[in-house]
Amino acid sequence: MNQLISFIKKEFYHIFRDVRTMLILFGIPVTQLLIFGTVIKNEIYDIRIAIYDQAKDETTRRITNKLLSSGYFILEENLNGISDIEDIFRKGKIREVVVFENGFGEKLVKEGKAHLQLIADASDPNTARLAVGYTKGIINDFIRKENPEMKIPHEIKTEVRMFYNEDLKSAYLFVPGTMALILMLISAMMTSISITREKELGTMEVLLVSPLRPTQIIVGKVAPYLLLSIINALVIILIGRFVFGVPITGSFALLMAETVLFILMALCLGILISTVAKNQMVAMFISMIALMLPTILLSGFIFPVENMPKILQWLSHIMPARWFIEIIRGIMLKGVGLAFVWKQTLILIGMTVLFIAVSVRKFKIRLE
């Protein structure tokens, strides 16, 4: 036992003394949260547009003003014809062209109907769709305000209630996602690489011939990462709570217990990878492809899983992060208890056991 403790101590010094790695380990989550919180938004602003106004009347001028004062659009160019739009788009700055038809204002008054053409650069379809949507919204709003007496008969009105996230804050999505990602990164990726490193450089053999038993070696190797992961998880939860206002509606104790479970699962996964990989580069690529990408993409962290093709949805079921994210969203945002997340919890426990069993088998085979 004493040996184990001194070995763990050595491992701790090893990791905590490495300032660069520590900086990065805490830098990654903080930076990522900061970027998600301030840079990445679901809305668009300052989109450059061009206007081709064939009418040049009072109405088109007022609509133009409305568009430009909304904050969403910046007028880059006034066009005199429609022929050079393709060239403009090729330069890449302007994303939308608004074309008012001839006699726009007059037609609107006399015929009750005027035509407007929106041409969007759809090489970025999301931005194009949003830009067109915003433009239409602003114009409809303008028409409604111009004609207050206009009333729809038998009108069905909609009242909407946004559950769990009234203000539609994106932090509710990215804080749990970042947590899953970072815990995977530290627990699985770092562990797998650090154990593989010992194998690759031959220092593992030195350890194996020492009086320490293989399990003790592994425990010693992963203990510092367990601690690091827990600290990191706390940092993320705190930043989420106090900087981005993500609440912890449910039980904090349950949240931490589930977090530790996920960390253990990830550590076991890291150990498993290290038993398979023969050098650090392999370990890195397995971690990257099998862990990081799915954690980012197939867990619903950024892109909703329901939108994906069936096969990927099916694949997402074997991604631990998916279940973990469901659990923490449940506890933090919906305030549910174990009664609601027992299934996900069981799945994580099952995965942990599976990874341990397979690693032990692999490890034994190697030693024999």
Partner 1 sequence: MKTLLYILQKEFRQILRNRTILPMIVVVPLIQLLVLVYAATFELKKIEMTVVDRDLSPASRGMVTLFNGIPFFRVDGNVAHEKAGEELLLKGQTDVVLVIPAGFEKSLMREDQAQVQLLIDAIDGNTAQLIYTYCNSILFNYNKQIIANWKGLPDFNPPTEVVVTENYWFNPELDYKWFMAPGILSILVTIIGMFLSGMNLVREKEYGTIEQLNVTPVKKYQFILGKLIPFWLIALFDLALGLGIARILFDLPLTGSLPLLFGFAGVYLISALGLGLFISTITDTQQQVMFVTFFFMMLFILMGGIFTPVESMPQWAQLINHLNPISYFMRIMRMIILKGSGFSDLLEEFISLVILGVLFLSLAIWRYRKTA
Binders of partner 1 among residues 184 to 203 (CB under 8 A) are 185, 189-190, 193-194, 197, 200-201
Q: Which stretch binds partner 1 (CB under 8 A): 160-168, 231-239, 259-267, 354-362?
A: 160-168
* Residue 250 DSSP SS3: coil
Interface characters, 119-138, with partner 1 (x: CB under 8 A): xxxxxxxxxxx--xx-xx--
Q: Of 49, 51, 108, 217, which lies in the binding site for partner 1, with binding defined by CB under 8 A?
A: 108
Report yes or no: 318 and 294 within 8 Å, Cβ to Cβ: no
Residues with Cβ within 8 Å of 188's Cβ and at least 6 positions away in sequence, in order, are: 266, 267, 269, 270, 273, 287, 291
Which CB sits closer to partner 1, 110 or 364?
Answer: 110
With binding defined as CB under 8 A, does residue 170 bind partner 1?
yes
Q: Which stretch binds partner 1 (CB under 8 A): 204-212, 220-228, 247-255, 332-340?
A: 332-340
Q: Which stretch binds partner 1 (CB under 8 A): 148-156, 211-219, 232-240, 247-255?
A: 148-156
Q: Of 169, 214, 216, 260, which lies in the binding site for partner 1, with binding defined by CB under 8 A?
A: 169
With binding defined as CB under 8 A, does residue 32 bind partner 1?
yes
Q: Of 1, 2, 17, 38, which lies in the binding site for partner 1, with binding defined by CB under 8 A?
A: 38
Which of 194, 193, 45 shows the shortest CA–CA distance to 131?
A: 45
CA 76 – CA 304 distance, rounded (Å): 35
Binding positions for partner 1, 255-284, rule CB under 8 A: 278-282, 284
With binding defined as CB under 8 A, does residue 166 bind partner 1?
yes
CA-only gyration radius of the chain, Å: 28
Give the helix/strand (H/E) hosting 358.
helix 338-367
Binding positions for partner 1, 77-106, rule CB under 8 A: 85-86, 89-92, 95
With binding defined as CB under 8 A, does residue 17 bind partner 1?
no
Using the CB atoms, write b or e for 299-308: b if 16+ within 10 Å. Answer: bbbeeebeeb
Which of 270, 115, 254 shows the shortest CA–CA distance to 183?
A: 270
Which pair of structure tokens corresponds to residue 2? 């004493």
Which CB sits closer to partner 1, 65 or 147?
Answer: 147
With binding defined as CB under 8 A, does residue 206 bind partner 1?
no
* Residue 221 DSSP SS3: helix
